[in-house]
Amino acid sequence: MQNILITGIGSISALGNNADEIWENYQGNTTLISDCCLNNGDVKVGKLSAESEQLIKGLRKEKIAYRKLDKSVVMSMIASRKAAKHANWKQIENTAINIGSSRGATALFEKYHKHYLQSNKRLSPLSSPTTTLGNISSWVAMDLGSKGATLSHSITCSTALHSILNACVWIKSDMAEQFLAGGSEAPLTNFTIAQMQALGIYSKNKSDWPCNPLQKNKDENSMILGEGAVVFALEKDRGQKAIAKIIGLGFATEMIEHNASLSAEAECMHNSMKMALHDAKLSTIDTLVMHAPGTLQGDEAELKAITKIFGKNMPHLISTKHLSGHTLGTSGALSIELAIMMLQNEKNISFPYESSAHQNNNTPETIMINGVGFGGNAVSIILQKA
């Protein structure tokens, strides 16, 4: 693959909304997961800080039209502004945009549906356009003043990584010179939380680490939902300044036995990692940011696939979920953000608890990011310091 550069990044999540704050939180020993009142009770979630919520309120006040938008859309606009500014893009007009979301306008949809049931089936004319998934990239384009291609999609929890795949193909084929790609998710609503609890995977852990992927000797699921948006500025490598280089892409789908299942050997993840390594012309990597949401079967299956690929040359393993929760369609983008920070700071982030995953203190030079979602689809991306 012709190398694609990441020249900018914008982010807002439970981890923070600026690089210094986010990196400091990754090095801390305290989870950012907190209690939130949902379904008439306290539920553990990875929610935005009060400061980040103020950024959302501030953007909503800029234009009347912004006040009616779902939180997922507003977060994507904040992240996209940051990414374009970080990349120092002077020309935005022809920028292509692909920002996905697993759930889309979750809160707005629930709000409009509740009103529909309580008001003799009356609805606002805005109920359809403001709850349509395609609105995310379209609103980002309107906010930035871009007339380029605008694409949105949902491929469950691998959504953001599929955005990166798509952007790389567009840039490589000269259909776009610069691309904003990423994910945005605002799933902290009653109905969405109830869905995850119905699956039996939501954490009931009361310890210091309620979400604890790959904690040694764990015996219960510990997935927790979080919210956030992460967007990257991507360009073809022309020798310009960049924050990271994409050197390998991989993807795969497996035949699933159940809507929410993953095979015991995580076949799709095995194949996506194998493809990414082949694309990058590598046999191993230094660090791997796992999908690892904290579910017993999912984490173990991914670990088996990684072991099958790397054997005795196991890379350092880490996930983001113990700090931020599982942000569904955004999760892969948060993983890329962590990978970039580890490359820039020449330091691996380790789990803050005793883990069954391989850990080391080596300086990472190549990092793989894994993502997998409902439907048995997986994506693996390899980064290198630019």
**pLDDT of residue 360 exceeding 90:** yes
Best CA proximity match to 269, nearest among 187, 332, 327: 332
Query: What backbone phi and psi angles, to 5 degrees, belong to 174?
Result: 65, 20
Which percentage of the chain shows pLDDT scores above 70? Answer: 98
Q: What is the C-alpha R_g of the chain? A: 20
pLDDT at 374: 80
pLDDT at 1: 58
- Return the minimum-mean-pLDDT range out of 199-208, 251-260, 327-336: 251-260
Q: Structure pTM?
A: 0.96
Best CA proximity match to 119, nearest among 131, 129, 111: 111
Higher pLDDT, 375 or 352: 352
**pLDDT of residue 259 exceeding 70:** no
**pLDDT of residue 133 exceeding 80:** no
Residues 274 and 303: beta-carbon distance below 8 Å: no
Sequence ranges of the domains in the chain: 4-384
Query: What backbone phi and psi angles, to 5 degrees, belong to 235?
Result: -145, 160
pLDDT band at 257 (very low <50, low <70, confident <90, very high): low
Alpha carbon distance 237, 5 (integer Å): 6
pLDDT band at 254 (very low <50, low <70, confident <90, very high): confident
Query: What backbone phi and psi angles, to 5 degrees, belong to 88?
Result: 60, 40
**pLDDT of residue 261 exceeding 70:** no
Mean pLDDT of the chain: 94
| Residue 58 neighbours by CB under 8 Å, 6+ apart | none
Both tokens of 362, joined, read: 């080596």
4-384: in CATH 3.40.50.720: no
Per-residue pLDDT tens over the stretch 16-51:
999 999 999 999 999 999 999 888 889 999 999 999
Q: Residue 258, SS3?
A: coil
Both tokens of 137, joined, read: 């990239």
Express the helix, strand and coil content of the chain in percent, nearest 5 each: 35, 25, 40
Alpha carbon distance 121, 140 (integer Å): 31
**pLDDT of residue 338 exceeding 60:** yes
Residues 383 and 366: beta-carbon distance below 8 Å: yes
Residues 8 and 89: beta-carbon distance below 8 Å: yes
| β partners of residue 318 | 289
pLDDT at 37: 85
**pLDDT of residue 258 exceeding 80:** no
Residues 5 and 85: beta-carbon distance below 8 Å: no
Alpha carbon distance 336, 332 (integer Å): 6
Tell me the HSE value of 21 on the side-chain side, using a 13 A CA sphere.
Answer: 14
- Within 48-198, residue ranges assigned H as helices are 50-60, 71-86, 106-118, 135-144, 159-172, 190-198
Alpha carbon distance 6, 246 (integer Å): 7
